Amino acid sequence: MSDGDTANRMWGGRFSSGPDAIMEEINASIGYDRKLYTQDIAGSKAHATMLGAKGIISSDDVAKILEGLEAVKIEIDNGHFVFKRSLEDIHMNVESRLAEIIGPAAGRLHTARSRNDQIALDFRLWVRDTLDHLETQVSDLMLALAEKALANADTVMPGFTHLQSAQPVTFGHHLLAYVEMLARDRGRIRDARQRLNECPLGAAALAGTSFPIDRHMTAAALGFDRPTANSLDSVSDRDYALEALSTASILAMHLSRLAEEIVIWSTAQFRFVRLSDAFSTGSSIMPQKRNPDAAELVRAKIGRIAGAFNGLLMVMKGLPLSYQKDMQEDKEQTFDALAATSLSVAAMTGMVRDMTANKDAMRAAAGSGYATATDLADWLVRDLGLPFREAHHVTGRIVGIASDAGIGLEDVSLEQMKSVHAGIGERVYAVLGVDNSVTSRTSYGGTAPVNVTAAASLWLDKLRG
Ligand code: ARG
């Protein structure tokens, strides 16, 4: 329903009637771009101040505009502001209220500016704030993981490939793998932030302006490194939002993998970890259940996050320069996806912080599934001088004997071993235990507890420093 059926006061000059209700519904963005009011008002203050400094409007008008904008901001902060759909978007809602408060001086604010550079600015500022917050959140998650890793530097667990027991690793090493992934996510966030930090304000509708504005002044006032260099590009592109969404998608993919592992680890079959009550739910019918709902939801959030990346990519694809109304479709999905990303990181941080490792269950699982077979093969190479391919074959036969008998590798008798290769001696048993296995893997980046302690400590120093 239209809440103003007369011609729009912002461009009503050549319109004699207001929009159809459906036109208003499809056109209006105030339902969601009201989220940008802080950025919109900050941009207007910087613009008005610059217009005054350059003598384009009087200092009296600047003072009125700045005071009025502050009053509008307070009204919105306090929830007293009445948003009108007939005024379409945040820009016109703010300006119209400004006019009610300060009178005709409000009409001078839009000199040398257009809603096209205004929205390009507001959205860019919002994405920048959001990336900054996300960077802090990712650092917190890295810290939670590094702390857990240090506490579990020598907690032995099975390492998997193909989700089959492969070789023993330490739980700390496994968690630090995620710290490395998140560090790259954080790098992508910083990188995107640095690239977006140019100010589009002053590009006006598309071509720049004939007023003697100072774009460097507004850029500096709003914390940008510099103004954007091309007015058409300034109002046309949303690649900064796409970069934020692609970065968020990769981050969400990492979170989804960790979430899936937590789901597996917390099953009654694995029992590797126990989630706290605070991050589990029960079942209304099955009293024994502790469901990892938060992990499952984090696992799922990538759907909407990567969906938003694709959605905006499709909106932007094939658009001619410069501003097109299509681009109004950038906001809702970006808001939603980045909120989901932030919530996922927060939930994962809480789960990791509270989660307890069941060291006995992990150790028992690490020893099963012939996880030290590679250690046996390596021993045959090192001690008996066998070529690795032959050692692999000998080990395979010994694993066969153990598996037929339903026993572990360390329980195969020396005679049985000798029957496969006569050179094998008593010393072999030292490499068949899981502790020996992980302790021996001291190569750079390997899983040995001494490596894990050093790597976790290094991360903790960086993250706390
Ligand atoms: N609501 C618009 C958007 O989100 C603001 C810019 C509108 N510009 C225009 N010339 N209609 O893109």
Q: Is 322 in the pocket of ligand 1 (CB under 6 A)?
A: no
Helical ranges in 5-58 per DSSP H: 21-27, 30-33, 37-53
Q: How confident is the model over 250-280, as pLDDT tens digits?
A: 999 999 999 999 999 999 999 999 998 889 8
What residue owns the CA closest to ligand 1's atom 3? 328
Q: How many A from CA of 118 to the centre of ligand 1?
A: 8
Centre of ligand 1 from the C-alpha of residue 157, in Å: 55
DSSP conformation class of 3 = S
- d(C-alpha 196, C-alpha 15), whole Å: 37
**Is residue 51 within 8 Å of 77, Cβ to Cβ?**
no
Listed range (111-115, 132-136, 185-189, 404-408) with the worst mean pLDDT: 404-408
pLDDT > 70? residue 2: no
Query: Once rounded to an integer, what is the mean pLDDT over residues 131-143?
Result: 98
CA-closest residue to ligand 1 atom 2: 328
User: Do residues 175 and 273 touch, judged by C-beta distance below 8 A?
Assistant: no
Query: Is residue 159 a contact partner of residue 171, using CB atoms and an 8 Å limit?
Result: no
43: pLDDT strictly greater than 90: yes
Q: For residue 328, how far is its CA from the centre of ligand 1 (angstroms)?
A: 6
Q: What is the pLDDT of residue 245?
A: 98
How far is the C-alpha of 40 from the C-alpha of 81, rounded, in Å? 15
Q: What mean pLDDT is predicted for residues 441-451? A: 97
Regarding the beta carbon of 119 and ligand 1, being less than 6 Å apart is answered yes
Residue 116 CB less than 6 A away from ligand 1: yes
Contacts of 175 (CB under 8 A, 6+ apart): 145, 146, 148, 149, 152, 352
Q: Identify the three-state secondary structure at position 443.
A: coil
Give which of 295, 266, 115 is closest to 203, Cα–Cα: 115
Model pLDDT for residues 173-185, shown as the tens digit of each residue: 999 999 999 999 9
Chain centroid to CA 89: how far?
28
Out of 58, 59, 283, 403, which one is annotated catalytic?
283
Whether the pLDDT of residue 236 is over 70: the answer is yes
Pocket test for ligand 1, best of 23, 116, 125, 235 (most atoms within 8 A of CB): 116
Q: What is the C-alpha to C-alpha distance for residues 416 and 382, in angstroms, rounded to an integer?
A: 21
What atom in ligand 1 is closest to the CA of residue 123? 4
Q: Which of 17, 162, 210, 284 is catalytic?
A: 162
Q: Is the CB of 87 under 6 A from ligand 1?
A: no
Contacts of 171 (CB under 8 A, 6+ apart): 149, 152, 155, 156, 157, 272, 357, 359, 362
CB neighbour class for 270 (10 Å; exposed up to 12, middle 13-18, buried from 19)? middle
Give me ligand 1 centre to Cα 159, in Å: 53
Whether 113 is in the pocket of ligand 1, judged by its Cβ within 6 Å, is no
Instruction: Check if 174 is active-site.
Output: no
Cis previous bond, 322, omega within 30? yes
Tens digits of per-residue pLDDT, 273-302? 999 888 988 877 777 778 999 999 999 999
Residues in the chain: 465
Distance CA 438, CA 366 (A): 10
Assess whether pLDDT exceeds 80 at residue 13: no
Active site residue 283: yes
39 touches 126 (CB < 8 A)? yes
- Rounded-to-integer distance, Cα 322 and Cα 89, Å: 20
94-112 residues labelled b (16+ CB within 10 A) or e (exposed): bbbbbbeebeebbebbbbb
In the reported structure, the alpha carbon of residue 247 is separated from the centroid of ligand 1 by a whole-number distance in angstroms of 26
Terminal-residue alpha carbon distance, the chain = 55
User: How far is residue 168's CA from residue 438's CA, in Å, rounded to a whole number?
Assistant: 6
Nearest to 291 by CA among 280, 300, 278, 301: 280
**pLDDT band (50, 70, 90) for residue 8:** low
In the reported structure, the alpha carbon of residue 69 is separated from the centroid of ligand 1 by a whole-number distance in angstroms of 20
pLDDT of the residue at 233: 98
Cβ–ligand 1 contact at 174 (below 6 Å) = no
What number does the ligand 1 atom closest to the CA of 91 have? 5
Which residue is listed with tokens 């290769």?
421
